[in-house]
Every structure is written in structure tokens, then in C-alpha cells.
Structure 1
């Protein structure tokens, strides 16, 4: 099922920090999905990492941050990882998550972020072509990376166009996350929880 809470990203943009109220909403969404019979929860916004970790710690079903599987895939490509984002508040938390993930896996990978100005506004205005073109242009200017990650789920539709703009491998969150979520659900043989 898809649970859409459009106000989360709007409210997240209003604060440099992840507020307690937003934190509680993330944990509440995970609990709601669990009580609705979900076997796993995959969040698709990158700006709520610590709250998602908290939700995962308290859940009997797998709860994933959007980019953790993509980070693992990036480590396999090399130590120079570039990340393009279109939502400013997401970058710092994702960089922290990436570094923590690299340290936990003994990887020497370093991340460099690139903000794609105007792409998210184009997406919100319904101009997917401009959104994709701006991301492709940003990717074409990355030269010192072994792999480029598209930092948000909303960017995944640009992947084909981005791949034509650079020879550097491109990773997206959705593909990696769905494969990993399937693996975790199969491993977590408990099945859905009833509340």
C-alpha cells in the first residue's frame, strides 16, 4: 500500500533540524503501516533518517530508510561517490548516513554532494522534462566519481536521461530498496503484525 503524507516535506523545509513533532509523525506512520498489515515499511523521503531508524528499532517488521540499500550498492563501485539531490534539507542527513554506513562496513568511500537547483521546483510544477534535464546537466558536470547516486526517490524517473549525459554509473534508490526490502521480508518470517 502507499501512505502519502504530503505535509511532511513541506514542514521539514521550515526547520534546519528534524523537530520532535516531525519525528513523532514518522514513527506514527510506521506504526500505522504495521497495524494495517504491512510486512515491511519503506520510507521514500531522505530527510527523516534518524526518525526512521527510531521507527525501525521499535518495529517487529522491517522498516527501511530510502537510501540504505543504494549506499551498499555504491560501495561496490569504488571509494569516490557523488550524490545529486534536489531537496536541500536531505543532503546533510544523507551524508551522515552514508559515512556511518561506510564506517560500519569498513569502507573508505567518500561522498561529495551536488545540489541541483531548480529541479524540484520543475517537478512540482509538473515539468518532468525540465526536472530530468537539470539533473542530467548536473550529472554531466561530475567528473571525479566512481558512481553517482540520485539522492531522492523523486529523481528516479530521470535515470535514463542522466545515463545518457555521463559514463559514470548511476544508482537510484527505488531499485536497490525494493530488492533489499524483499530480502528482509523473506528473512523476517513472522509475517504481518495485527494491532
Structure 2
């Protein structure tokens, strides 16, 4: 029997677990997912304006752990560790992905005015830098404007998904000068339906784009290995 590809999903908060596991089960049922939750990452990231060396080393170490556990691909689901994830990817023989890189590519196709809603404050700065770097690399003139949804993540963590979704949808309804709206965290995926009902602007989410791109990279890597 052909071995199922194992994909490691690395989380800094438990509210990101269900959205990506659901997307993986729906879009890539042949894959075996391995969930790694390290909540200390988000706790410690909130204590510092910058990504510390200790946090950097933990991100690289988690990617290496996933590789040693037999993973064929690694997907981080927290947006606040971009540079460290890039470092992990550079040193890994398997695909290692940041959470939003695939969604950024999709956003470029919609136009140059891109709005991004986030619920975890420390994530925005790094994501904006990643977006601009991706736009420059692709020759896109796209510009990003970030909007922070106060209180949404606290509601989600408290188990109040309805309030989480409502707050994000209310914020989205106030955005008028954008060609596309991105929901910046994996944990926001559950609000997609409410957001789309609140605005006529196209709405993109991370989990689906990430699974499609991870599948493409892993299958390409496996084909390359088979031909050696």
C-alpha cells in the first residue's frame, strides 16, 4: 500500500487547530496530519515587540522535530514568526511553509488594494513585511492596509465563536476601498461566511490556500525523489 504523506501542522494557539485540520481533511484526505501545539510561542511573542532569538530557535527546532518525525511537509499556522519560519525552510530538505504565503499569491490576482484583518496584534507587522516582499518578488504593485479587530481573539479563546465572527464581520463591513480582504489568522476561518455576507468585496482565508499549495509542493518533491 502506498504510504500516505505526513504533514506536520505547527500551532502557537489551539484556536488555529480546527480550521486547518478541517481544510486538510476536506481538500487532501490522502494526507496524514500531525498536530503540534506549542502555546508558549504566542504567550512569549506577545511579551516582545521583536522576534527574539529564543523564539527563533524554537521555531527552527519545531520544524526539525517535525522532519525527524517523518513529515514530508511542515505548515506553521501562526503569522507572527515569519522570518524564523523562512530560516527553518532554508535549512530543511522538505517544504516548510509560512501560513499566509499562498493566500498572498491569491490576493495579487484581485487587484492592488489589499485589506488584511488580524485578531492577534503582533502578527500584523511581520505579515505586512512578508506581503511587500512577496509583491516585490512578483512584480506586483499591490499595497496592503491592516485592520486590527479588537476583542475577537479573546472571544474565540473564551469559546464565544459567534461574537468572534460578528466582530470581524462588522469590521469588514466598514472597509470600502479595497479590491480584496484577507483574514490574517487561521483561527479566523470560521468567520468567513459572516464576513462574506457583510461585504461585497472578495474574501480570502489562509487554510484552503495553504493546503492546496502544500499539496502541490509535497507531490512535486515526492515525484522528484521517485525519479532519482
Q: Shorter chain as normaliser: what TM range?
A: over 0.9
1:191 positional shift: 8.9
CA RMSD, aligned part only?
1.1
SS at match of 2:213: helix
Rounded Cα–Cα distance in structure 1 between residues aligned with 2:173 and 2:216 = 34
Partner of residue 57, structure 1:
90
Rounded Cα–Cα distance in structure 2 between residues aligned with 1:121 and 1:45 = 16
Find the partner of 1:94 among 108, 112, 127: 127
Find the partner of 2:175 among 142, 166, 179: 142
The reply on whether 1:7 has 2:40 as its aligned counterpart is: yes
1:109 positional shift: 0.2
The reply on whether 1:21 has 2:35 as its aligned counterpart is: no
Find the partner of 2:73 among 40, 50, 61: 40
Rounded Cα–Cα distance in structure 1 between residues aligned with 2:171 and 2:40 = 28
1:190 positional shift: 7.2
Tell me the number of residue pairs that the alignment of Structure 1 and Structure 2 aligns. Answer: 192
| Bigger RCO of structures 1 and 2 (CA < 8 A, at least 6 apart) | 1
Q: TM-score, normalised by structure 2?
A: 0.83
Partner of residue 165, structure 2:
132
1:124 positional shift: 1.1
Partner of residue 137, structure 2:
104
The reply on whether 1:76 has 2:109 as its aligned counterpart is: yes
SS at match of 1:114: strand
Partner of residue 175, structure 1:
208
1:66 positional shift: 0.1
SS at match of 1:188: helix
Structure 2 unaligned residues grouped into runs of 5+: 1-33
